[in-house]
Structure 1
Amino acid sequence: MTDRVLRLLRTRPDLAALAAFPFNFDVDRAYHVEDVHLASGASLEPVAGDDTGGTYFLCGGSAVLHASSEGDAVLIADNVSEALEMLVRLPWYCENISGDLDEEQLRAAVDAGDAEAREEFAPELDAQRAALLTGLGLPDRPLTELVALMEAAVDRTEPDHLLLNSAELGAYRLTDESRRRPLRDVVLAPGRDVLTRVRADEPGALDEALADPVLRAGVVRAAQYDRRDADLPLLRLLLARETSERTEWYTERWIAAMLVALHGEVEDLPLVRAATDGQAAGAEGARDWARARDADRYGRDPEPESAFTWIELARAQGRIEHSRVALIRLLDDAGPADAELLGRLSESLERLGDHAQAARAQFLFLSLQDTDRDRAAAAHVLARLERRKGDLAAARRALERARTAVGTVPQWHRHGLGRLITEQHLELALAAAEAGDAPLARETMAHGRELLSAIARQHAKALGELSTRAKWAVAALGRDPG
C-alpha cells in the first residue's frame, strides 16, 4: 500500500512543488545516477530526488534511504511521512543539528538556517512550510523527538539497508561512519548479558549459558575480556561442557582452558589437560602454558582479534546481514595484494550463500595467483561461484582459464584438481541444458567428456552419476542444427 504522504505528493502538484522547493524532495526526480540494490535483497524503489543528484528510496516498501551521487547512503526515517516531517521542519540548510541539543537550541539552529534561507533563496519560506505541513497533515511534534527518530534511523542503516552499486557490487559509504556499531559489540552482547546475569545469580542464567554452544562461545569471550576471580566455577562448567561436546567452537574451548589454568588450581589439571589434548603438565606447568598462550594469542583486549572471529560468531547467531555487511566492507577495502584475505572472503561469502560477492572476491583472488596449479584451482572455484550466481557465460570463461592453466601442471589428471575441474564442466553443462542454452551445454559437455577420459579412473567413476545426468540433459536438447 502506498504511503499516504507519498500518494498525496504524487496526486497533488501544488504539494509536490512545495516539497521540491525549498525542501528538496522532488518526486519528479525519482531516479538515481546508477543502478543500485540492497545487499539484503529487500525491495528498493526510488521515490524522489534532490538537486545535488541524490535520491530517496523506499526500502522494503516503507523505510526511507537517502543516497548521494557521491557514494554515501543513510537511512533517514521509517516511512515517507516521517521523512517529510524531518525535511520540512529540520531542513537541509540547517547546520549542527544533533541529538546533543535541547529543544531551545534546536529551534535556534532552525531559526538561524531559516533566516539565511529567506534572505538567499526562499523569501516565502514560512508560508511554504505552513502550507506543506497542513496539506500533508504532518504533526507538530517536538524537534528533539524528530532528531531522536532521525538518529535512530541512521543507526539502523546497517545491516539491513546496505546499498550496493549493481554493476561492481561495491557498497555505498555510511554517511556518518562514527555511528556504526562495531560488529564485535553486537555479537558479544548476548554473552556479556548472560555473564552479567550468572554473576548476579539470576535463576536460569547458568543453565542458559551452558545449554547453547553458540551462546557459550560468547560467554567465554566475554569472560576473557572482563576477568573476575569469582568466575572460576563458571569457567570450569563451561570448559567441561565444551570438552565433552567438542563443538566447532574449539578456539573458545582453548580460551576457557587458558582462563581456568591461569588460576593454577591443582584440581583443574585433569580438565585442562583433557581440553588441550595434554599440552599442560602439572599445575605450575599449566599456569605457565596459559600465561604464554594468553600473551601470545588472546589477552584481555578484543581489538587485535581477527574480524573473521566476529563475522563467524555473527553467522552462527543467525545475524546473516551483519556478517554480509562486514565481509563486503572488508572486500571493498582489500588491497591489490591481499591474496590470503581475498581467498578467505570468497569462502566466507560463499558460506553465507552470497555467490555474487564471493565471485567478486574469487575473481580478484585468481588474478593474484602465481603458478598454473594455483590459477587452475582458483579458476574452478570461480566457475562454481559464477554458475551458482546464475552467470553461465562467466562460468564458461572461468573454466576456459582453468583448462588453460591446468594443461601445464604435471600429472594434473591423476590428482584431485583434475576431478574438481571435470566436475565443474559437468555441472555447467547440466545447468546450461536446464537453462535451454544448447550451444553452451554442448560445448561444455564436449570438454567434460575429454576431461573424463583424461583423469584417473577412480575420479571418473566417482563422477559417473553426474556425468550421466549431464549427458542425458544435453541429449534432451535435441540435435545440433549445425
Structure 2
Amino acid sequence: MGTTDEQERLLHGPRRDLDRARRDPATWNDLVFRAEHTGEGRVTDRNGAARFGVLWALQYDRRPEDLPLLRFLLQEQATFYREAVPMGLAPDLTLAGFLVAEHRQVEDVWLHWTAKNISFDTALGYHLYHLLTGGIAATVEVVRASSHPERDRLLKDITPSRHTDTAVEEWLEEQRRIFPADPAEESLKTWAYHAARLGEREASRLFMTEWAAGGPRTDDTLNTLQFHLAHLGYLTEAVAVQKEAVAICQSPPESSLKASKLLQLVKLERQAGNFAGALQSLEAAGQALSAVPDWPWMGMWIAVVKEYFLLVPVAPDKNTSRRLLAEADEQLRGVPQKWLNGVIDPAITAAEHLNDTDKRSRYQSLQAAGRHQQDQQRSPGPAATS
C-alpha cells in the first residue's frame, strides 16, 4: 500500500469520529481526558488518541459551527498537559489552540491563557497571539472589565505597543501554513508524527521512512529517522540508521561528536539485544574520547561508564560480566560526586548480578553520600542571629 492510500485509510477513523461528535454532543464524553497510571509512574490518557484524531480531522474540515467542539477539545488537551505532561509542547496543543483562535472570538482569551500557563514550556511556546486574534483593543477591553484573578498579569502581557493587529494577522497566516487545511499539503514527517499519536506504528514508520528517502541523508535527517524508529520500537532499523550516521560523521575519529554518535548506537544495540554490537560500539566510543581532555566531556565519559555497567547483566557469560564490571569500576574511581547521578543505580545492579558484595557496598556508600550532599544543598542555612 502506498503512502496516499495509507493516508486515506488513516484519516477514515478520525473523520468518522468527527461526524459522530458533530451529530451527538453526548459522545464528547469519549474524548474527555481519562488518566491512566503506568507501572513506570507516568500518567497516560485513555482517550488521548481518539481526541487527537477528532482534532486532526477538524484541521481538514473547518466549519463555523464547530467552535464549541473546538473549545472543548482545547480545554481537555490543556487538562492532559497539566496532569500528564510535566515538560514539552507538541502540535497536539498548538493545533487545538490555533483552530480555536482562527474563530477570532475575544471571549476565548481566558481559555488560551489557561493553555499558555500550564508549564514553563507552554508559557514559552504557546504564542501570546492566540489570545489576541479577536482584536487587541477588544481583548484589552474585555480583560480590563474582568474580575479574573489573573487580570493584571495578563494585561501586562498584552498591552505593550509592540503588539499590533497586523502582527497578529501575520502570525495567523503563518499558522495556516503550519496547519494546512488540505491533507495533501502536510509533510510526510508530520503524517508520521500524527500516525504515532493515533497508535498507528506501521503507518508512522512508512511515512517517516518515505520522508527520509525524499532528500539527502544528512545528519539531521538520519537523527530524526533513527529517533522516530526507536520510539516506535523498530530497533533493528534504528540501529542500521545510526550506523549510517556514524559512518558519515565528518569529525575526526578521536572526537566528542563521533563518541556521542557511537554512544547512541550503544544504547540502541543494547535495547535491541545485540550485546556484541553494543560492546564493540562502546569500546569505539571510549577510544574516540581517549584523545579528548576529560574536563569538558566528563558527562560523556560518565555515559561510557554507565553503559559498561548496563552491559554487565546482559553479557553472555560471567567472565565477560566480570571484565566489564572491572572496567567500569576502574573508570568510576576518582570521579567527582556531582557526575555520579544516574550511574550508581546501574552500578549497584551490576555488582548484585555478580554477587560482588564489596563493590555493591562501596557503590551504596557513594549513593548515600550523594543523597546527603543533595539534602545539604536543599536545606536552608542557619538562621541569622542578632
- Common topology (TM > 0.5): yes
Aligned ranges 1:152-191 → 2 under 5 Å: 177=2, 181-191=4-14
In structure 2, the residue matched to 1:233 is 68
2:128 to 279, 289, 303: 279
**Higher helix residue share:** 2
On the 8 A contact 1:235/1:256 being kept in 2, the answer is: yes
1:312 aligns with 2:193: yes
The residue identity in structure 1 corresponding to 2:245 is F
Residue 361 of structure 2: aligned partner: none
Contact in 1 for aligned 2:256/2:288 (Cα 8 Å) = yes
Give the corresponding residue for 1:266.
106
Per the TM alignment, residue 360 of structure 1 is displaced from its structure 2 partner at its CA by 0.8
Which residue matches 2:221?
341
Partner of 1:299: 180
- Counterparts of 1:235 and 1:261, CA distance in 2: 10
1:359-378 equivalent positions in 2, closer than 5 A:
359-371=239-251, 372-378=255-261
**Residue pair 1:380, 1:421 contacting (<8 A) in 2 also:** yes
Shift in Å at residue 254 of structure 1? Answer: 1.5
1:415 corresponds to 2:250: no
Q: Calculate the aligned-residue CA RMSD, in Å.
A: 3.0
Determine the structure 1 residue equivalent to 2:365.
none
Structure 2: how far apart are the matches of 1:415 and 1:300? 48
Q: Is the 8 A contact 2:308 2:328 kept in 1?
A: yes
- Say whether the 8 Å CA contact 1:445–1:470 is kept in structure 2: yes
1:467 corresponds in structure 2 to 347
The letter for the 2-side match of 1:275 is A
Alpha-carbon distance, 1:255 to partner? 1.7
**Aligned AA (1:185):** E
Q: Report the Cα distance in structure 2 between the residues aligned to 1:311 and 1:325, rounded to whole angstroms.
A: 8
User: 1:403 offset after TM fit, Å?
Assistant: 0.7
Letter in 1 for 2:28: L
CA contact (8 A) 1:349 1:358 kept: yes
Indicate the percent of aligned positions where both proteins have the same amino acid. 26
Task: Indicate conservation of the 8 Å contact 2:189/2:211, yes or no.
Answer: no
Question: 2:49, 2:199 within 8 Å by CA — same for their partners in 1?
Answer: no
Secondary structure (helix, strand or coil) at the match of 2:291 reads coil
Whether the 8 Å contact between 1:413 and 1:419 is mirrored in structure 2 is: no
Give structure 1 stretches of 5+ with no counterpart. 1-154, 156-176, 477-482
* Counterpart secondary structure, 2:317: coil
* Correspondence for 1:145: none
| Alignment partners' CA distance in 2, 1:299 and 1:315 | 19
User: 2:18 aligned with 1:195, yes or no?
Assistant: yes
Q: Partner letter of residue 227 of structure 2?
A: E
After TM superposition, give the deviation of residue 344 of structure 1 in Å.
1.9
Question: Contact 2:191–2:207 (CA<8 Å) still a contact in 1?
Answer: no
1:239–1:256 contact (8 Å) kept in structure 2 = yes
Kept after mapping to 2: 8 A contact 1:418/1:455 = no
Residue 273 to residue 293, structure 1, CA distance change in 2 (3 Å) = farther
Whole-angstrom distance in 2 between the partners of 1:270 and 1:195 = 25
1:389 corresponds in structure 2 to: 272
Measured in 2, the distance between the counterparts of 1:289 and 1:426 equals 53
1:74-153 paired onto structure 2 within 5 Å: none
Please name the residue that 1:288 is paired with.
169
For the residues of structure 1 that align with 2:61 and 2:352, how far apart are their CA atoms? 61
One-letter code aligned to 2:91: T
Tell me, what secondary structure is at the counterpart of 1:185?
A: helix
Q: Distance in 2 between matches of 1:475 and 1:365?
A: 38
- CA gap of 1:267–1:329, structure 2 versus 1, over 3 A, is closer
Number of residue-to-residue matches in the alignment: 294
In the TM superposition, residue 318 of structure 1 has moved relative to its aligned partner by 3.1
Structure 2 stretches lacking a partner, 5+ long: 34-46, 117-122, 137-164, 357-386
Alpha-carbon separation, structure 1, partners of 2:6 and 2:334: 48
Q: 1:258 to 1:400 in 2, by over 3 A?
A: same
**How much does 1:398 deviate?**
0.4
Deviation for aligned residue 1:406:
1.6
Cα distance in structure 1, aligned partners of 2:4 and 2:334: 53
Shift of 1:335: 6.0
Deviation at 1:451, TM superposition (A): 2.0
> Whose radius of gyration is greater, 1 or 2?
1
Partner of 2:152: none
User: Could you give the per-residue CA deviations for residues 72-125 of structure 1, whole angstroms, max 9, x where no partner exists?
Assistant: xxxxxxxxxxxxxxxxxxxxxxxxxxxxxxxxxxxxxxxxxxxxxxxxxxxxxx
Would you say the 8 A contact 2:245–2:261 is kept in 1?
yes
Give the 3-state SS of the residue equivalent to 1:402 in structure 2: helix
What is residue 48 of structure 2 aligned with on the other side? 213
| 1:244 alignment partner in structure 2 | 79
1:452: how far off?
Answer: 1.1
